[in-house]
Amino acid sequence: MYVKVSEQVFIRKTSRGNYILQGDHVIEVNDISEEILSFCNGTRTAEQILHYIDPLYQHDRPYSINIEITYACNQHCVFCAADAGSPLKNELTQQEMDSLLDEIIDLRINPVTITGGEPLLKYDLVLHMVEKVASAGLKPIMLTNAVLVTKEKAEALYAAGLHTIQTSVDGITPEIHNRIRGTPTAFQDVKRGVSIFKKAGFEVHLSTVLNRKNFFQLEEILGIKNLFGADKTYISFVHPLRRGKDQKFHLTPRQMKECFVLSNLTDNGEILNEFIPRERCSIGTSPVITPVGDIYPCMLTKFDALKLGNIRETTLKAIWQHSPLLRELFSCSVYKLEPCKTCEYKLFCGGGCRGSAFAYHGTIYKNDPVTCASSRLIVKELKKKGTRETKERYRLLCEEVAT
């Protein structure tokens, strides 16, 4: 069976994501869609494809997973949401990690992201995890600051099955990046690391945390892929967790709006947006395991009240099948949030991040105030400067809100 795409459909790959274009329609292809499309490679039957796809849309297991193998780190990022630096006491052993990976493989949770802290401080464990995950047919990904990589380590990791890494560049000049990362050589270290990974054959993704200290470099940051020769770039914002709680790093709503506009500007000065309805965030679909085995719904929800359990005491399968808290999180739509449920923009932002909402309000049932304020400004800008297709999609979204 082969996937047939008509000549009127185009697939556009960009540094900020992949899109399917058909006439006036623009559809962003997310990670799951990319995985499905790659699975449809002409060698599998329709039944095999359906058997593979079906579990991706159930809530009986996570879609993907993040494993923080240590909080030890050789940098000191000023707004680190993990507060990384020193390892925790009693971090998971390799034997415990093997038990966790056995369950992940059994449940077919994919991809598996290895992070920290700085994972390469436990290089031998990373190599072991990559070999185990990749040999089972799953995709390992590593988040690293790229400081400790060598030619030999990169080649060994690639041979073991790790082909994608993500690293952070938080400024286009050494002065800004070094200040944010907390070390005097961070900029030259990451450039060297990216070069090593690329020469070894890796797909390299760059992530930038936009904040008040690097915002003046916004236009250059949007083109940072060209400076480093990376394959993809992502922009995120400071999350109000641990060291990220310091408000002096947080963007204003107007700055977030400016970032959105510049990121979606067409060549003729209009703004393109799909206006895909969002009823909720993705909480619970990509959990995180901390270095001591605690399980949280996502990387941004590491609060005691939102902890789902600990893998030393239970299993992922048991949590995803029986946890009342997880059921509650999955049902937490924008129609249950205050003041979102009566807001005309509710399907544009979906209420924002539940982790951010909890950080500000101590409950998941209120709005993410930063996303709320910036979304209002963004929609007003789209009404004025959006493409014809964007304005039409907004009209359809308003009709959906009204019903």
d(CA 22, CA 102): 42
| Helix (H) or strand (E) segment spanning residue 263 | helix 253-263
Q: pLDDT at position 21, please?
A: 54
| Helix (H) or strand (E) segment spanning residue 10 | strand 9-14
Q: Mind listing the domains of the chain with CATH numbers?
A: 9-55 (no CATH), 61-251+284-294 (3.20.20.70), 320-402 (no CATH)
Q: How far is CA 212 from the centre of its chain?
A: 21
pTM, to two decimals: 0.85
- DSSP assignment of 214-232, as one string? TGGGHHHHHTHHHHHT-SE
190 within 8 A of 146, measured Cβ to Cβ: yes
What are the mean pLDDT values of the chain's consecutive 10-residue runs (403 residues total)? 44 53 55 69 76 65 95 96 93 98 96 97 98 97 98 99 97 96 97 97 96 95 88 93 90 96 90 84 94 97 97 97 95 94 90 95 95 93 90 81 69
Q: pLDDT at position 48, please?
A: 77
Q: pLDDT at position 170, please?
A: 96
Q: pLDDT at position 56, please?
A: 58
348 within 8 A of 278, measured Cβ to Cβ: yes
Q: pLDDT at position 40, please?
A: 76
d(CA 114, CA 120): 10
DSSP 8-state code for residue 338: B
Give the 3-state secondary structure of residue 81. Answer: coil
d(CA 49, CA 351): 34
| Cα four-point dihedral sign 265, 266, 268, 273 | negative
